[in-house]
Amino acid sequence: MDFARRPSPYWSARVAVPSLMLQVLAALIPAAIAHVWFFGPGFIFNLLVASIFAVGGEWLMMVLRKRPPEVALTDYTALVTAALLAFAVPSLTPWWVTATGALFAIVVAKHLYGGLGFNIFNPAMAGYVVILIAFPMHLNLWIAPRMGDIDYQYLTVLQTLKYTLTGSLPDVLGFDAVSRATPLDVMKSGLNGMRTVSEIRANPIMGDFGGRGWEWIGNFLAIGGFWLLIKKIIRWHIPVGVGVGLMLPATIMYLVDPGSHPSPGFHLFSGATILCAFFIATDPVSAATSPKGRLVFGFGIGILIFCIRTWGSYADGVAFAVLIMNMAVPAIDLVTRPHIVGHDRKRTKPS
Amino acid sequence: MTSPGFIDRFKTGLWHENPGLVQLLGLCPLLAVTSSFVNGLGLGIATLAVLIASNGLVSATRRWIQAEIRIPIYVLIIASLVTCIELIFKAWFPALDRSLGIFIPLIVTNCAIVARAEVFASRNPIGSSMADGFVMGSGFALLLMAIGAFRELLGQGSLFARMDMLLGGDPMRGLVITDGGWLLAILPPGAFFSLALAIAIKNSIDRRQREKRQQAMPGRGRHASQ
């Protein structure tokens, strides 16, 4: 395959959007299977709901904008948005919450800004932030991962489906019986309660680096991400930028005060770090353009994730970090414009 | 300046030059207080009263105001009027005053009011200045009420709740459609989305009318339809 090394207006890659998006979806499959294994079949229902509403919203907007709807439906971009949203929400989520996120992502964040190629904000993250702010109770309900000695309360497929459709659990089960605080929540509330990191890490929900279950999903996401890197569907700049941006402050703080700052490995394997580095921040539309710009973009996201996790009121900050850096993309693109061959370096600066 | 009929001027204030929808003035109170209908109505009435009075006063004193220091003088006039309104609210509508909070004193900084003083009242007689204040103030108040009703309906599932803050009497629940609603509509992002939606609806109605007029009179371009 022949790829343009540096995107130039006259030089384009011979790759169509549909096949790119299909490969991104394929790279998510291992992690999806791991998600279903650890957190039950809710993921599949969420994915179905998100896909139906994302594709439906896409079709509706194309009809309203008097564009050919088949094009939007066959390029699979809406499905990638739906898949990212399904990874972001807890496996127990009522359908209207997921549907709101998917519709907002497609209708407002994507099509009101001009459709594919024109959206400033990452649609999946915009949709996720909307439901995170609008339905905070529903989005904090993570069930315990299925792992050895954690008292895992098993929900059957039908019970999960019933919760997705109605938002209520069977009478015998309370929310407290099935839901657990996520590792990042446990860490945050523990640190706020003046406990040390090693005390908090004695909680059975913690695994080798991050949380049990979560770190395995992270591993499978990383496998999919490396496959995308090898296939040259994404480039290394953004994942490396996110990693360095998060690990650098995390390592410094950990070395200075290991009692009140979790290890860099915990940051890397918790929450949505790996999903963000390989799949969310690498959205080609809303990321920066030049290689240098992408490094800056990823680095900014990493720093912001660390800041929000450490000092913010939310346990994880991936969605906010990505949206904030999306806003900075025009400025990043302006100051990191590639040097034009044959021109004086000083002259290529914006006048 | 020609003096158009009152009906025409009313249309201008409510629609073609609506301070909130078209000139995008006074967005701070517009976005901040419109979480319910009664808040929008309360601030709308306060702004309307200040705008009529300030337009009248500025117009009455326009011959003595030095051009170089006119803006501080406008602000002085508006600030004293807002202080009166604030005291009136505190005396008669204490609950509404607590609900609107800082945004009643902040009417001083509402640029819609300074803009009308500068653009209209400083160069027109008292009568038409007060009429201008009335139409512009009504345009702003109606927009506040519309957005307040929309956000209350989406965010709380009710309409006209807590009207007792304005009318007195027992706490009123208003028209309750459902209990609870979409929290986002009441939070600050909901204000931005609602205003954007209102502007989009207005622009699309305008465009449709323009197209209709052009079809009726093909010879006249879009400039003639202003």
Min Cα distance A285 → chain B (Å) is 23
The contact set of B with A (CB < 8 A) is 182-184, 187, 189, 193
Model pTM? Answer: 0.82
Q: Report whether A288 contacts A333 (CB < 8 A).
A: yes
Mean of pLDDT values over A195-204: 82
- Specify the pLDDT at position A344: 67
Q: What is the pLDDT of residue B86?
A: 93
How far is it, in rounded angstroms, from Cα B25 to Cα B41?
18
User: What is the three-class DSSP state of A138?
Assistant: helix
- The string of pLDDT tens digits covering residues A304-335 is 999 999 998 888 889 999 999 999 999 998 88
Q: For A110, which DSSP code?
A: I
- Which tokens go with B197? 């939606």
Chosen for mutation from B184, B186, B193, B201 (greatest number of chain A CBs closer than 10 Å) is B184
Residues in chain A: 351
Element (H, E) at A216: helix A214-230
Whether the CB-CB separation of A217 and A38 falls below 8 Å is answered with: yes
Residues A271-295 have pLDDT tens digits of 789 999 999 999 888 888 888 999 9
Residue corresponding to tokens 């290890």 = A263
Nearest chain A residue to B183 by CA: give it: A134
Q: How far is CA A165 from the centre of its chain?
A: 24
Judging contacts by C-beta atoms under 8 Å, the chain A residues touching residue B182 are 100, 134
Q: Among A159, A150, A147, A137, which Cα is nearest to A41's? A: A159
In angstroms, the separation between the Cα of residue A112 and the nearest Cα of chain B is: 11
Express each pLDDT in B111-157 by its tens digit: 888 888 888 888 889 999 999 899 999 989 999 999 999 998 888 88
Adjacent-strand bridge partners of A179: A143
Cα dist. A244→A197, A234, A252, A264 in Å?
Answer: 22, 17, 12, 11
**pLDDT, tens only, B190-222:** 899 899 889 989 989 989 988 888 888 765 555
Query: What is d(CA B58, CA B107) in angstroms, rounded to the nearest whole number?
Result: 16
Question: Distance (Å) from the C-alpha of residue A40 to the closest C-alpha of chain B?
Answer: 28
Query: Which of 65-104 (A) contact B at CB < 8 A?
Result: 100
Q: Determine the average pLDDT of the residues in A221-232.
A: 91
In this complex, do B189 and A135 lie within 8 Å of one another by their Cβ atoms? no
Identify the top-confidence range among A113-122, A185-194, A325-334, B23-32.
Answer: A325-334
Least Cα distance to A333 among A277, A286, A280, A301 occurs for A286
CA A138/CA A141 separation, integer angstroms: 6
Alpha-carbon gap: B182 to the closest alpha carbon of chain A (Å): 6
| Tokens linked to A80 | 């990638």
Give DSSP secondary structure letters for B19-38. Answer: TTTTS--SHHHHHHHTTSHH
Measure the CA dihedral A247/A249/A250/A253, to 10°: 150
First to last CA, chain A: 37
C-beta atoms surrounding A25 within 10 Å: 16
Work out the number of other CB atoms within 10 angstroms of the CB of residue A217. 26
- Distance in angstroms (rounded) separating the CA atoms of residues A35 and B68: 70
Quote ipTM for the complex. 0.71
What tokens appear for B214 in the block? 């052009």
B contacts of A136 (beta carbons < 8 Å): 183
- Which amino acid is located at A342 in the chain? G
